[in-house]
Amino acid sequence: MVDENVFREELRNLKGLIRNDPVVAARYDLDGNGEISGEEWDQAVAGLREALERQPTATGQAAEAVFESARSTTDLSSDRPSLANCSEVVVKQRLEKIEVFGGYECSNRYLFYDPHTGIEIGGADESSGGVGGFLSRTFLGPARPLNIEMTDPGGGVWLEARRPFSLLAFVKPPTLVIHSNEGLLGTVTRIWPLVLRRRYRICVANRFDSDLVIDGSLFRPWSFPVEKNGRPVASIQKKWSGAGRELFSDADTFLVRFEDPGLDAAERRLLVAASIAIDFDFFETSPN
């Protein structure tokens, strides 16, 4: 019989090993949303319990054995797109017809897809409906509360991002807080100077060695390089979709490029969330 305390400890170790290996993580990430959660862990849980039942004394080794077995049977050439294995992700705003032709400001909606295959990875919807949401979008614009739900292609929510309204938003913008299905994932915060630079700090929850800094210059307003410990690791770029499109709508498209293949799933998800924050802060326009 498996000691449940040993099982829980080994399961924590196994989850850590899987999350830190993008190739193996992609195998368990069945919906391709960049996160392993809920029933997606069932296969790993069953394998670990079976390993401990075979060798009850394998404390400290069972998690590694299950992980190595998963890695050895994973198709390393698999190109199924997900945040874990894509080198680039397009974040494209989806406009409603009433916005294009009527000039009304609707809730922001985004589509995430792999630019190399065109396959959808997920999306995001601003959850601010009703009269209150319409008024805040119309009169507060980018200063309004930011409430975003990120979803997989099937519509399941895998991230929630929240940033409250603040009267001091133009002096000290509030922090965007991102939660996954397993709890706090991290934060995205604008940092000084606010006038001459477009800077953010991305912090992964419960980690102190992986802060990412986005540092955009006013002289290159469409480009947002990302550094980690002073080293370039990613970039976020505003892409033009055509002169007519830009003139007659405020649809925005961003390319998030993961230049460092060592970026883990949490960092990648936070960078995608940061691209939406950048859209709200610098490219949100009012129809009035």
In whole angstroms, give the CA distance from residue 234 to residue 212.
9
For the cut 90, the answer to whether the pLDDT of residue 149 exceeds it is yes
CA torsion 73-80-84-226 (nearest 10°) is 140
Mean pLDDT of the chain: 77
More confident residue, 14 or 285: 14
Domain positions in the chain are: 4-72, 88-283
What does the pLDDT average to over 272-286? 84
Model pLDDT for residues 183-214, shown as the tens digit of each residue: 999 999 998 766 678 899 999 998 877 689 99
- With a cut of 70, say whether residue 276 has pLDDT above it: yes
pLDDT-derived band at 59 (thresholds 50, 70, 90) equals low
For residue 106, give the DSSP letter. Answer: P
Q: How far apart are CA 85 and CA 47, in angstroms?
A: 24
Predicted pLDDT at 170: 65
Q: Specify the pLDDT at position 199.
A: 92
> Mind listing the pLDDT tens digit for each residue in 91-147?
998 765 444 334 445 678 899 988 887 788 889 998 765 444 555 555 455 567 889
Q: How many Cβ atoms sit within 10 Å of the Cβ of residue 221?
A: 12
Backbone angle region of 181, left / alpha / beta, with phi > 0 → left and psi within -120 to 50 → alpha: alpha
The tens digit of pLDDT for each residue in 242-266 reads: 444 443 344 578 999 999 988 988 9
- Is residue 76 very low, low, confident or very high in pLDDT (cuts 50, 70, 90)? very low
- Of the pLDDT bands very low, low, confident and very high (cuts 50, 70, 90), residue 274 is very high
Q: What is the pLDDT of residues 219-248, one digit of tens each?
A: 888 899 999 999 999 999 998 644 444 433
Give how far the C-alpha of residue 211 lies from the chain's centroid of Cα atoms, to the nearest Å: 15
Average pLDDT in the 274-279 region? Answer: 93
CATH class in words for 88-283: alpha beta
Q: What pLDDT is stored for residue 249 in this prediction?
A: 42
